[in-house]
Amino acid sequence: MRIGFIGLGLMGSGMAASLQKAGHALVVHDIDRAAAEGHVSAGADWADSPAALARGVEAVFTSLPGPPEVAAVAEGDEGLIAGLAPGTPWFDLSTNGVMEVRALHDRLARHGIPFLDAPVSGGPAGAASGKLAIWVGGDRAVFDRFRPVLDAMADQARYVGGIGAGSVAKLCHNLCSTVMMQAIAEAMTIGIKAGLEPLQLYEAMRAGATGRARSFDIVHARWLPGNLDPATFQLRFLHKDVRLAIELARQVGVPSRLSEAAFAEMTEALDRGWGTRDAQSVLDLQRERAGLDPFGLDANAVREVMGRS
């Protein structure tokens, strides 16, 4: 398949190389001509502009820093919109805003061009090796048609919903990643100031129940399927553990804003009379205040997801 690829930075170069290795004919473009050298010597064609790149390809992929760069390659006489034939899809692998990709989708739809947001996760190493997630939002039929191309770049390509859904998934994922890192920083600074060696503390935490699990596994058996009674671990006991931990933070003088917020959540849940329910009942407060009904997920369906990746 003849494919256009714009943006050959740390992420883009790995993904473009994967497409070439899979036998696709690439046309490449980047604001830095030198970034394309490796790809061109491996057989890719160079295009002087996004518009030139777009002519004669079956799909275009972009991997760019953010919203302004994506808008810049779309617009103008030399932009993608000027060059793309109706029906030729554009997959944007950049991390973009949800409103931005929806607006771009609507603008391109007027030219008959399917636009899909397809942000990725896995870092430069994953982009090079193919151990990569691609979360795709947009037209399902287009996703299905280009599935083999996506699979050539990533072992975890997922259709997640209509336009913008890929970006929602990516932003939620990165938000979790950030808050988890902050939580680790709080816990480690408390533990180290309380006298543990950093590496011993880190190794100890990795050996615990949460340490052994993959990051998101913790909620699969209880909160997701709404399986909160009877408890395996009662909320009142977790409340006690967190109380002891933040008392330790007090004693050693470590500011712990996230932990305090989590403790306040649990206090609120105890006030609801949930002390003997499962500890994850506390998470239902957030669901309630988001205005969401119980998710109504079947435990078997959740287990199937656990087995798929």
Partner 1 sequence: MKIGYVGLGDMGGALARRLQLSRPLTVFDLSEAAMTRLTDKGATAAGSLGDLARDCEVIFLCLPKSAHVRAAIFGDGGLSTALRPGTLIVDQTTGDPAETRAMAAELAARGVTLIDAPVSGGAAGAEAGTIAIMVGADPADHERALPILHDISPNVFHAGGVGAGHTMKLVNNLLSGAQRVLTMECLALAQKNGIAPVDAVRILMAGGARNVFLEKGVGPVVERGDLGTGFTLELMHKDIDLACRAGKDAGIPMYFGALTREMYQLAMNLVGAQEPVNSAAVAIDRIAGSKIVAGS
Decide if residue 256 touches partner 1 (CB under 8 A): yes
Least distance to partner 1, CB of residue 290, Å = 16
Name the one range near partner 1 by CB under 8 A: 44-52, 85-93, 214-222, 261-269: 261-269
DSSP state of 44: P
Give rounded-to-5 percent helix, strand, coil for the chain.
Answer: 55, 10, 35
Among 267, 286, 305, 306, binds partner 1 (CB under 8 A): 267
Interatomic CA distance for residues 67 and 69, integer angstroms: 6
Residues 226-245 that bind partner 1 (CB under 8 A): 243
Decide if residue 192 touches partner 1 (CB under 8 A): no
Decide if residue 289 touches partner 1 (CB under 8 A): no
Nearest residue to 61 via CA among 26, 99, 96:
26
Counting beta carbons within 10 angstroms of the beta carbon of residue 43, is it exposed (0 to 12), middle (13 to 18) or buried (19 or more)? exposed
Among 250, 303, 305, 306, binds partner 1 (CB under 8 A): 250
Residues 22-81 that bind partner 1 (CB under 8 A): none
Decide if residue 264 touches partner 1 (CB under 8 A): yes
What are the distances in angstroms from CA 15 to CA 1, 144, 151, 232, 264? 15, 19, 11, 44, 44
Among 270, 297, 299, 302, binds partner 1 (CB under 8 A): 270
Decide if residue 268 touches partner 1 (CB under 8 A): yes
Among 253, 291, 296, 307, binds partner 1 (CB under 8 A): 253
Nearest residue to 6 via CA among 42, 43, 57:
57
Interatomic CA distance for residues 44 and 17, integer angstroms: 10
Q: Choosing from 21, 170, 193, 240, which is the catalytic residue?
A: 170
Decide if residue 260 touches partner 1 (CB under 8 A): yes
Residue 170 annotated among the catalytic residues of the structure: yes
Q: Which is nearer to partner 1, 206 or 243 (CB)?
A: 243
Nearest residue to 175 via CA among 106, 121, 238:
121
Q: Which is nearer to partner 1, 11 or 266 (CB)?
A: 266
Residue pair 190/254 in contact (Cβ under 8 Å)? The answer is: yes
Q: Helices 67-74 and 98-109 meet at what angle, rounded to 10?
A: 10
Among 110, 212, 214, 257, binds partner 1 (CB under 8 A): 257
Least distance to partner 1, CB of residue 244, Å = 12
Least distance to partner 1, CB of residue 294, Å = 22
- Give the H or E element holding residue 82: helix 80-83
Counting beta carbons within 10 angstroms of the beta carbon of residue 47, is it exposed (0 to 12), middle (13 to 18) or buried (19 or more)? buried
Binding site for partner 1 (CB under 8 A): 243, 250, 253-257, 260-261, 263-265, 267-268, 270-271
